[in-house]
Amino acid sequence: MEYNSLFDLITYLQYGTKLHIGVLFFGNYGNKKCILPQEQTIHASRICDEFKSCAGGLTRCFKCRNAAIKKAHRTKSAFDGLCINGVYEYTRPVVIGKDVACIIYIGNILEKTKGIEKLKKNLGNRDYLLDSLEKNFSYDQCEVVGSLLETYIRTLLENIPSDNLNNFNPRIENIKTYIETNLEYDIKISQVAKIFHYNEQYLGRLFKKEMHMSFSNYVSKQRIERAKLLLKETDDSVIDIAIKVGFNNVTYFNRVFKKHLKMTPSEFRM
């Protein structure tokens, strides 16, 4: 997929730094110029990947980010702080009317007092990873970058009506993005409905109408598609791949995979 506009600006703002900037859209906000690759919708950095690979790390990161999402929706104002592992992050909701249209994240930053203490404790003998963080980026600097992004996003959102004529449904696209960037977690429609502020039954009907399949079937299909990619492009074991796409039971993963493709993961890889 070709990315431009918002992605171009994020790439420019990150250039020459170790910052990681992400944007997650909600509701009926967003258009084709706002589409971002997965790396710019999640916390994707060397140190985040390291923490996620630890036992229980994915779950802790997931809960931490969802707590920030809820706070952004509740307060509708920018805030900063340390993630559960100690990485500093600035969070800025873009509010249109009474809605949070999207949330801007500026992170991968080392906070030199409590942050460095917490990180060293959590990293143990991997404290060399501290060098992968941006060390000199203040709240005021985050405010400047966040303000630039918000102004540009507001400009892009003015193009929503024309993009909707091309079968682009922001409600569905935003949920699809969330699903596809969280496949390793236990994704439930009740949970997604709360995050995106929808009635669960309404979301189920809307998703089935637009995608011609149920929410759970879509999640399962995306997990299998991700597994196919990992089976072809990596040397990861079938067990590791099963975990990476959200299956904690490799037997169940094999059964679902075979149901979709009429062959086992090992046979597909051959």
**22 CB burial (10 A radius; 0-12, 13-18, 19+):** buried
pLDDT at 2 over 70: no
**58 pLDDT above the threshold of 80:** no
Q: What's the whole-number mean pLDDT along residues 211-218?
A: 92
Q: Tell me the whole-structure pTM to 2 decimals.
A: 0.75
Q: Is 258 exposed, middle or buried (0-12, 13-18, 19+ CB in 10 A)?
A: middle
Q: Is the pLDDT score of 132 beyond 90?
A: yes
16: left (phi over 0), alpha (psi -120 to 50) or beta: left
Q: Average model confidence (pLDDT) for the chain?
A: 88
* Distance (Å, whole) CA 139 – CA 142: 5
Nearest-angstrom CA–CA distance, 202 and 224? 26
Q: Is the pLDDT of residue 38 over 80?
A: no
pLDDT at 172 over 50: yes
Measuring CA to CA, how many Å separate 165 from each of 39, 178, 232?
Answer: 28, 23, 36
**Region of poorest pLDDT, from 132-136, 162-166, 187-191, 213-217:** 162-166
Torsion of CA 36, 10, 227, 257, to 10 degrees: -20
Spatial distance between the Cα atoms of 36 and 22, rounded to a whole number of angstroms: 9
Reading the block at residue 61, the tokens are 């990161």
Residues 260, 224: contact at Cβ < 8 Å? yes
Q: What share of the chain is helix, strand, coil (3-state, %, to 5)?
A: 60, 10, 30
pLDDT at 155 over 60: yes
Of the chain, the percentage scoring pLDDT greater than 90 comes to 47
For residue 139, pLDDT beyond 90: yes
Q: Determine contact, residues 38/163, Cβ cutoff 8 Å.
A: no
Distances in whole angstroms, Cα of residue 60 to Cα of each of 67, 87, 92, 181, 231: 11, 13, 21, 16, 26
pLDDT value of residue 1: 47
199 CB-side CA count, 13 A? 4
